[in-house]
Structure 1
């Protein structure tokens, strides 16, 4: 059952840091250093006290990074905070958590978002398997039991490309367009008002003005011989934070606040060995619940983890690829894992509320695929 209209929470502000390349400008900025400035700025903008902070984070410093960053941001000590981990969907999971709370017994203002510092995440090791063995560096989480195959994300994207007929040429062309759009948006300042500049970085580090289809064609397969996914037609490994200020519907009405009303948010699960297709499952379930016609969506942001994967989802949902990420997506901007879902909502807020490019644009749709075969989709409307 969908949230009744009068109880639907409203996103009233949305900010993010610039997105850095792992090992780049933000290499010495930890999770707290990324997130605290965003929380502080949102709290400063809030018409009322913050009731809770919900933040997504993957393989970070441990403990409760949301609480640490909230205190570092100067929020009162009586503001509770929770950190959630749903892999790449963590930012949207944190937002989903706050939406659920504000749709029920809670009222007032919450902050929800995500943060990832791939550059500073701790090194961890599997314990030795024998008395004379060495510890083994922990490189990635297991997304499924071994009986499901648990392919690496890149390997799974190659499999999706082959099975869905997504050619290398199409992937490269899509990636070039993502960079071109992001570079053009950056040049005219379309990101400026959503950014909280950091001392080490005041702009997104990854977009490349010089990418062409001819240049991308020279990149070799990144995940195995014969594959079509390369380092250039997929996202990078990135650092960044993003968060949203939201409140329950009654509070928004009482304060006369405008923003993005959350119509519905859905998490779905499908094939664990084809994780990139999780967007299709989530959006399908959301359409079933809401009855929304995908042709009526004004701004679509499906996370571009891999060109192959996002193109397959767009094809399955019968959405023209040109409609996705009109100002550039994660292939160009970067994919700071746990922050990416929140970045998507910041981008929708800018395009539908802060500086709409279409005068009558109203509906926005975000979707993200998650390791283990899950996906989350959120439908919002500008009010």
Structure 2
């Protein structure tokens, strides 16, 4: 994507289209910070300096090396600040980013197919997050499944959106914090649609036909019309012996999720979340909340991101159950070397360490817990 951005920005600026260039650069920066860095955090956090960790850092460095140069005409001072930080490890670096060469894209690194696939994945993830917002279920609370209805939209090289979604299903699962993804052929399984005429638009064109149009829409296949509208496709209806073509903007669509689901749709994609929660999912959600609050406590205690800790958590009954079931996960995520549970005898040495530890109290609904930690 970085080399596609260089290509797009170069062509746009050569045509004096600074707006298009800025849009392409903004999209790259968003993808770099909100997708690449976030999804590769575990690679950055590894304690060993193996090839995988070095590859993650090198990719980030190369992207920032490109970004600092293509933003230079738009944000000269910010690009200079980034350049001065990055160039510390390059003895042959120019004194300023504004003395460097404009980057050139490498045709071999352009991959329209992969960009298309990730656009599909991110569309599904975005709709899933929107549906979760509607449900008011915490992002860290795992859900059993999502249902996905994908259009047969094709890439210019014949790539299917459905194939792309299947290919990257694990990323969808991780991003939306669900156990499974189920692909469905029709959105009628999880939503019902009602359609009505957009009177301000249609009234100007058809006037006296509006009562007949209203009746025809009421008797038509609302699900099919809704799909046409979502996919920005025109459709026809026979009204009083004549065929009338409708544009997507001529119709108003209202959707209602089936009981136990919340859904969101756009551009021919629909994602529905199964919002039912069992005890195991609730406990797993609490484990993720414990991890988040421990991480916040680490920051408040002034620890470095790679510091190992000695950790103790006490709390209500469900918190203790969560510790019993997800102890290894919590320790791995928080870099804890020790996390004693109630059925373990805490050594005198550990007690002594924790007496001088950083302590915070947290609550979530009916659950409460106390976190004590210290650098190992």
TM-score bin (small chain): under 0.3
Scaled by the length of structure 2, what TM-score is found? Answer: 0.22
Scaled by the length of structure 1, what TM-score is found? Answer: 0.21
Larger radius of gyration: 2
Higher relative contact order (CA 8 A, sep 6+): 1
